[in-house]
Chain A
Amino acid sequence: QVHLVASGGDLVKPGGSLRLSCAASGFTFGDQYMAWIRQVPGRGLEWLAYVGTTGSTIYYADSVKGRFTISRDNAKNSLYLQMNGLGAEDTAVYHCATLRPYWGAFEYWGQGTLVTVSS
């Protein structure tokens, strides 16, 4: 059974940094594309970034390009999101998910971790 657990969410001041982690189990992590998606409370979802199976293919949404860095460690079955230059608009629940690129869909999701940016 696929299990994704995101962690690392916290209260951070504007301009601060945070690193999120996602622990994966129940599937062959190294065979799956992985992505980060966030949801501002009461609003829609927003795709942020995805990384290919080896980590060499990476794409970002324009809203986070240059500030966020996605990475993965297949030996540790883990996905990461380094977030720098955080602003109030980054306050959201951050989910990790597997991506099926040919489906154009995010297949399995974790519950998410809350990031709050406030002074």
Chain B
Amino acid sequence: QSALTQPASVSGSPGQSITISCTGTSSDIGTYNLVAWYQLKPGKAPKLMIYEVSKRPSGVSHRFSGSKSGNTASLTISGLQPEDEADYHCSSYVGSDDWVFGGGTKLTVL
């Protein structure tokens, strides 16, 4: 399976909203509503932010939301805060007990 495609970087100012895209194919994102988003910060364990395209685990801020259209999933962070600065990785289940990840997007809060 090929990796999902994410932009290498995005940036925004505090209070703004940003959206990170994650493009796959009809074999992964286009077929399964099992897209997840993870937040990675240096020295910390990765954190699940979104699962099943748009669901938030307990404890994740409502400022984080997910969506999907066709073969592309998106993560939107509203009311950007300095602590949101991190790398964000998407993943999709692709069937046959297999998963594929994106290359990650570095979010900079200006």
Contact = CB atoms under 8 A, between A and B. Distances in A.
Nearest to B44: A111
Per DSSP, are chain A's interface residues mostly helix, strand or loop, or mixed?
strand
Contact of A61 (B43, B91, B93, B98): B98
Residues of B contacting A: mostly? strand
B52 interface: yes
Q: Say which size band chain A's interface belongs to.
A: 20 to 34
**Interface size class, chain B:** 20 to 34
Given A43-B104, A50-B97, A104-B36, A111 B43 contact: yes
Nearest to B99: A47
A110 B43 CA distance: 10
Contacts of A95: 45-46
A50 B45 CA distance: 18
A44 B51 contact: no
